Each structure stands twice: as structure tokens, then as C-alpha cells.
Structure 1
Amino acid sequence: MFDHDKRSAGAQRRRITKALGAAALTGLAAPFVNAQQKTLRFLNCEPGRDNVRAMKVAAAEYERATGVRVVVDTVPPDQVYDKLQASISAGTPYDISGLIFVAHVVLLAQANKLVPLTELMNRHKWGPRIRFPVKGQDYWYPYDYNFCWMYYRKDLFEQKGLKVPTSWDQVLDNAKALTDGQRFGISHPIGSNGAGQWMSIGYMWADGVKLLDDKFALLLETPAMRQKFAAYLDFMKKLSPSMPPGMSQALFATVIGQYSGNQAAMVPYAGRLMEVLEDRSPELAGKTGFFMYPDSAGKQVAVNHGYDGWVVVDTPMREESMKFMAWFTENQYINFLHSAPLHFQPPRMDVYDDRRWRAHPLIEKHGELVDFMRSILTRDDVVIRSVDTEGPAPDVRPGKMFESFGIMEALQNRLLKDMPAPEATELAVRKLKAALA
């Protein structure tokens, strides 16, 4: 496990709770106790060393400027919701917290435990599919995108005479051509975990697969969508001989290690991969290119959605919390982004033109990647989707589908058990319907 990958190996990145609904909200009904005067408690879910340092510097600067103390506690991202919920249940709630799953925001907002951030959000222009309002109000301030796209070895492409793939057939041809000895052409986790569901399904989004309609009914059970999904499963089956063994057990760090160790020539990830390469293999960073997941016909591309953000909890310190958020998002936000300069992709469009943000050495060096990341937000042919953000509005139901891992089980049935794609699709439909029920 890479020490600066924020996701723990055994945990799912996005997890609602062991029991959703009324049982999950039981603790939220506990009364708040009086917060200590002039002290804010901030629950940070970015445990990287530079991330923690950025938050503590901001806290110290705010106390120097205002006299209000900000206490920063840090937990891994997969533990943040449970920690926040426990603090509310105990009557000692955090005033501000990070959250990594829109379903958690929905649960807390519906329980009237969050303060609206709409006015603060309206100060800036935002990228697509990043505002998740609940009943017309924003309760979540997104601080980054975690899109997943594809990386490739430019030097190996040149040696083999390959072009950046724009269709599934080209991905297949390239992966086959790049599989040579101990090096494999491509890597995609296929386990029932967050890594697989973030890194391996972008192709189906590009090809027009949608899981839910505008009434949260399961679209996947319609004939047209079944056919599209089955075609995606068959594509992944053809791609599997070009993957390293053991991909059902692969996690986030597995893929980084395969690429940096010359074991895979094409891999999925976000900006974190380039940061790792710059830290450990700077020569390889210069040989690395990137592209989005293509569709079957070469007409459009996709990235798998990802996101992180902050919420303000409705405590007696809500006014002080809002003052801090207004100050932080204007005065320290860019410093925070610089703690993971390529991985924390800004969702605020103004940041891309801010010379303070662009002054970071890695952002200056990798201007091509930064322009690519920005193009995800501005191109008309880019599809941005994820299981947990499916449907017409933020809701816990897509989160339940995410936790069912029905998509990943279909991949396993097709790739590992050689189950026919229509049969694997049928089992996925049943699994997702059960989750929605």
C-alpha cells in the first residue's frame, strides 16, 4: 500500500452504513451539547501528511487572525461518516466535516443536521455534476473531483506504432500488442470493492449505459440497456487475457504498483498516479500520457465520477463555522489543493485561471495533464457518471446499488466463470433491483 494513497486497502471508499434508513439515523436524533465558546472542531478525512499540514496551518492562521481556535482531527476517508455520526450521537458533534459519499450528505440533510451552504456555493461557477442539492439547497461544499481516466506508456506506444485508442477495438488491439513477457497491456481491478467500481466501468458509461431513469426505476432491465451492458461484459472478457493475474484481488495501490513497476502499460487512475511517478519514477512520468475511456464506436468518451467535500453541521457554532468556511474557501483553499496538486482536481472553475494555483511546480510542469483535466469539464462529448451518482437527484438508492457491487459481480461472472453475458446481466439486474428495494 502506498503511504500517500488515502484509501485503506481493506475498506470501501464509499460506504453508506451497515444499515440504511431509520436505523442509520437513530443516533442523529441525539441533542447537541453546547460547544466550547470560540472553538471549532473540524473532522478532516484527508490523512496524507501534506493534507494534514495544510489544514493545521489554516487552523493556526485563522486563530491568529480571529482568535477562534480550530481543532483539526483526522481519520481515513472510509471512517469519516461513522466518526461524525458517533460524535452527533454522543452530543459532542463536530462543527465541520469532510464527507466522500453523496448518500451521507442526503441522510444528514434529511435529518436536519446540516447547515445550507447555497449562498457560499453561489459565489463561484462550478464544473458539471458536482453540486448535489437536497430540496433545492446545497449542503455540501465540494473541494475536489476524483475522476478516473486511463494512463499509458507513450514510449511503448511509439515503439509498437500504436495510437491513442478511440474505440473498444483499438483498446483491445493495443492491449494485446503491449502484452509482452512479464509486462501486460492493461490493468483493471474486477473485485467487489471500490477500486473495481471506480477503475473498470468507464467503458460502459462511454457506451451509453445508464442504470436509473428519472424516477429511480432500474433502466438496466430494459432490453436496450441489457444489450449495451452485455456488450460491455463481452468487451472486458476479450480484454482480460491482456491483464495481470489476480485482478479480482487488486486494489488502488495494486494498479499504481503495476504501472510504476513496468508490469502494465495502460492503467486507470486519477491525478494521484502522476504524483507517485514524480516522487518515485520521475523518468517514467515524462513517458506517460492519458486518455478517457472510449466507447465501442469511437464517438464519445467517459470518466468515472469521484468527489470529496465538506459539510457544516448544525451545532451552536454554526455561525462561526460559516465564517470559517467563507474565510477558508477564499484564503486557504488553494493551499489545501496544493497538498495534492494533481490529484485534487478543482471543481471550482475560477481556480483553473488563478495564478496562485498554477504556480505549483507540478501544475506548471504537467500543463498538458491540467488542460486535459479541465477539458473533462468543458467538452460536450465527455460522459461523467458513477454508480453512486445515478438517477435524477441525490439519493440514497444509488448508494445502495454501489454497495451491492452488482456490476462487479457481473464482471466476475463473465471473466472468471465464463458465464454468458446475458446470464451475467440478468443476475446483475436482480442484484441491483434487490438493492433498490
Structure 2
Amino acid sequence: MSIYIPGRVRMAVGLSGMTRRNFLKSAAAVGAASLAAPAVVRAQSGVTLRFLNNETSVASQAALKKACDDYESKFGVKIIVDSSPISGTMQKVMAAVAAGQPYDIMTSGFIAGILEYIHAGAIVPVTDLVKKYDWGKKAAWEYQGENWYYPFDYNLVVNYYRKDLYAQKGLKIPETWDDFLKNCQALTVVNGGNVDVGGCVIPLASDSSTNWASFGNMFAEGAELFDKDWNVVFDQGENADRATRFLDFYGELYKTMPPGMNAVSYAQLMSLFATGKAAHSVYSGRLVEALETTNPELADKYGIFPSPGSTGQKALSYAFDGFCVGKSNQSEEAIKFLQWFAEEHYVDWLLSAWMNNHPARLDIYENERWKSHPMIKKHWNTMMTMKSYIEGDNIKIMAIDTSGPSIDMRACNVFNANVMPEMLQQKVLGNASSADCVAATAQRIRSVI
């Protein structure tokens, strides 16, 4: 997943005299052609592409290097990969644009970051490549009538729970948030007045992990930030009631959480569950990989479920990852590479993070090489459960930065300003009433947008 670093860079980036119409016409020609031998003919030998990769695990870097070496051996196009921690991606992209040496291709995540790239003139559409495939729900979103990234995974926020502890306590998978709260209370271990083992961990720090992971129950309850005309309605009518109920619920959940929650972020969400310090945690498929690596005994004892609302509605927060093509003198060559990569090395790339790279492209689920991976086979039930979430209509999939009637920077600005995480802090750290928190948050949203 890519963590967005706020920025407000606005600049125009040239495309070596190529108009947008000519560029799209050329890209369409690329997308309409075969993805095998003809691409070899069109590849321009001697070209060097710059690739900014923020998937920095050893396996992912190795998979990308193999693909780039293969492409160079076939086409004569060299690809220099710059792997950067996810927290520095935005800064590196914008610095490269400002220096007149933009990246030709990059991995990207949150919509907030991608819209910044679009508004800065830093990337070009990849619509024709995206339209070749069928995608899961909300994966291949459009902005200004174009697709600006080529997805490779979802980061669905599911609730992880300990099957063994559920069995010991006679607990059932929760259908409502009251059920969930009772389960968390039943599994909380208190020693000397302090929580030793948390019933759950749902973050509240002012960062993207909270924006991403902490509002599934609010979405399940149906609280909305905006109406169809972008009016802020979070504090209006039934929305205010729903948001207030959610905060009351979160306040009770917080009492079951381990200490130090104001500093808990991505790594701690995984480690607290993997080390047995929390009976539930919210996270994407990467938590399964963490269990296999750090505590394989628990890798046979977990289960997942969506976030429930008060009366049984279900929802998931989400983000995604994908590839963007930079607006550079070599954008056409970068699109050719991405087109080839999508056919020749896409599965290898997904398997480099076998559960975290939960496929957004639906044909992958029928790919025999992908299906035969030993860890995919071992955790097949989990993968198919997550697949059911992106195919059915009974589970809401929502996010702070996709709130509102369309993809827009207004919702992204709410995400970037950490408005919603700070609402949670006001509730449980500031001891404010839920109603006051909702009213203050709505006013903050109005000021941000």
C-alpha cells in the first residue's frame, strides 16, 4: 500500500511536443494491438525508462527486477528501478517532475495521491489498457472520463479474529456491532487494572492507517460525509444520528484496546495480532503473510469477517495499489512496457506478495499458476471470502477519500487533513460527547473543502 504524503504542487509537464489527443490516439493503437510479438517489434531499442517502486519487500523487488531484465533482453529497453519507502513516494515523484526528470512509471495507491499527480500534470491515462479486463467492484475507477492507474490489488480492511479463542469462549462471528463489542470484551485480558491483551485494535493516530482502517463500522451504519451536490451532511438528520451511534460504539471498543493506541499504525496493527496481544485486528491480506513469517502456528487459527453495523449491515474500508505512467518524453514506451508486463509478469508480481496482492483483475482467480501457489492454496478460503466481498452487492466497499458523489479532491482533502482520525481522538482522548464530535467534525470538513 502507498502512504500519501500531502502536497500541493501544481505544474505543467510537457510531453515533448505531443498533444494529449495524439498521445491518446497512440495509446489506443497500442491497446488495440496484440500483447505478444507485435509489441516486440514496436519497442524502441536503446530507450531507458525510470521506474519508481514503493513495494519494497525483497520478493517484490526481485519479481520486478526479473521482469525488467526480461524486457531488456527481448526489446533492448533498459529499466532503472528506484525502490523507495512508501512514505517518500509523493515527494520523490514531485521532486523528479520539478527537476525536469519525471519518472516514466510508478506504483501508486490512495486516490488522494493519484489525483495530486493528475492535477500536477505528472501522469497520463492508461484507459485502453484497463478496459481490456474485467475488474472487481470499485477497482478501476475513472476521473475525468479516464483511468489513471492500472490496478494490481485491493487493500480491503477485514476484521481478523482468533478462531481458537472464539472456540474456547463459545463465541460466534458477530452479525452486529453489539455482538462484536461483546466478543471484544470477552477476550480482553486485564492485569493490575491495565489491558494486557486487547479485545481489538482499531487505530486512531493522525495518519493514513486510521483513515484507511478505522471506519468500516461507520460505513456499515450508513453515515455519509456529503450529499449528491457535495453539501456536507455529516451533522445533518439521520447522518448525524448514525455518526453519533458509531462514535458511542467506538468509545466502548476503545476500552478493550491495549495501551498506546495513539501511536498504533500499520506495523503495530499486524504485530499486536501476530504476537497474541490483541484478539482482533483490522488489516488487509498482508496480515496473513505476517502470520506465516512470524508466528506460523497462528496462521492456522485466524478467520476474517466484514465490519458490522448496529443492525447487521456489513461494510469494508478499502484502498488499492496500481501502476501509473508518468508524463514524460517516454510515456508511450512506458505504456508498451506496462502492456507487456500485464500479460507476461503480472502473476509473478502478484505472487511476490501472495495474500496482500489480493487481485483486482477478475481473470486472475482462474489463472492456474496463481491458483497453484502453495500459500494461495493453503489460504484459499480466505482468498475466496475476500473475492466474494468484491463481487457481491451485500457488502459496502467505501473509503474516506472516495466519499461523495464522484472521485474528487474534496474528499481527498478530508483524508489528507486527518479530519476523521482526529474525530476519534476527540471522542476517546478528549472525552468529548459523540454529538459534539460529529458537529465539530462537520465544521472541519466544511473548512477543509
Query: Is the pair's TM-score, using the shorter chain for normalization, greater than 0.5?
Result: yes
1:78 aligns with 2:87: yes
Alpha-carbon displacement from aligned partner over 1:358-401 (angstroms, at most 9, x marks no partner): 12111010011011110111121111111111122222111110
1:143, distance to aligned residue in structure 2 (A): 1.4
State the match for 2:223 in structure 1.
Answer: 209
1:374 aligns with 2:364: no
Alpha-carbon displacement from aligned partner over 1:73-94 (angstroms, at most 9, x marks no partner): 1112222122112112111111
What secondary structure, in the 3-state scheme, does the structure 1 residue paired with 2:50 have? strand
Residue 326 of structure 2, aligned match among 313, 321, 332: 313
**Contact 1:30–1:88 (CA<8 Å) still a contact in 2?**
no
Alpha-carbon displacement from aligned partner over 1:15-51 (angstroms, at most 9, x marks no partner): 331xx3xxx113x447869999511111111111111
Q: Which amino acid aligns with 1:316?
A: N
Moved more, 327-336 or 394-403: 394-403
State the match for 1:197 in structure 2.
Answer: 211
Change (3 A) 1:131 1:213: farther
**Contact 2:13–2:327 (CA<8 Å) still a contact in 1?**
no
What secondary structure, in the 3-state scheme, does the structure 2 residue paired with 1:72 have? strand
1:16 aligns with 2:6: yes
Q: Which amino acid aligns with 2:137?
A: P
> In the aligned structure 1, how far is the partner of 2:402 from the partner of 2:257?
28
State the match for 1:328 in structure 2.
Answer: 341
State the match for 1:106 in structure 2.
Answer: 115
State the match for 1:25 in structure 2.
Answer: 10
Structure 1 portions without partners, runs of 5+: 1-5, 8-12
1:111, distance to aligned residue in structure 2 (A): 4.7
TM-score between the two structures when normalised by the length of structure 2: 0.89
1:406, distance to aligned residue in structure 2 (A): 1.9
Change (3 A) 1:47 1:419: same
Change (3 A) 1:251 1:111: closer
Alpha-carbon displacement from aligned partner over 1:341-364 (angstroms, at most 9, x marks no partner): 000111101111111111211101
> In the aligned structure 1, how far is the partner of 2:404 from the partner of 2:410?
9
**Contact 1:150–1:293 (CA<8 Å) still a contact in 2?**
yes
Residue 305 of structure 2, aligned match among 288, 291, 302: 291
Change (3 A) 1:144 1:292: same
Residue 177 of structure 1, aligned match among 172, 186, 191: 186
Residue 132 of structure 2, aligned match among 123, 127, 147: 123
The number of aligned residues is: 419
**Contact 1:32–1:91 (CA<8 Å) still a contact in 2?**
no
Q: Which amino acid aligns with 2:254?
A: S
1:115, distance to aligned residue in structure 2 (A): 2.6
Structure 1 stretches of 4+ moved >6 Å: 30-36
**Contact 1:98–1:309 (CA<8 Å) still a contact in 2?**
yes
What secondary structure, in the 3-state scheme, does the structure 2 residue paired with 1:411 have? helix
**Contact 2:274–2:298 (CA<8 Å) still a contact in 1?**
yes
Change (3 A) 1:33 1:16: farther
Percent identity, aligned pairs only? 34
Alpha-carbon displacement from aligned partner over 1:215-242 (angstroms, at most 9, x marks no partner): 2221213221111101000001111221
**Contact 2:55–2:86 (CA<8 Å) still a contact in 1?**
yes
State the match for 1:396 in structure 2.
Answer: 409
1:434 aligns with 2:444: no
What secondary structure, in the 3-state scheme, does the structure 1 residue paired with 2:297 have? helix
Alpha-carbon displacement from aligned partner over 1:68-122 (angstroms, at most 9, x marks no partner): 1111111122221221121121111111112223233333334544332111111
**Contact 2:216–2:316 (CA<8 Å) still a contact in 1?**
yes
Superposition pairs of residues 88-167 of structure 1, within 5 angstroms: 88-167=97-176
1:209, distance to aligned residue in structure 2 (A): 1.4
Moved more, 405-414 or 280-289: 405-414
1:55, distance to aligned residue in structure 2 (A): 0.7
1:250 aligns with 2:264: yes
Q: Which amino acid aligns with 2:259?
A: P
**Contact 2:161–2:281 (CA<8 Å) still a contact in 1?**
yes
Superposition pairs of residues 390-429 of structure 1, within 5 angstroms: 390-429=403-442
Change (3 A) 1:199 1:135: closer
> In the aligned structure 2, how far is the partner of 1:109 from the partner of 1:185?
42
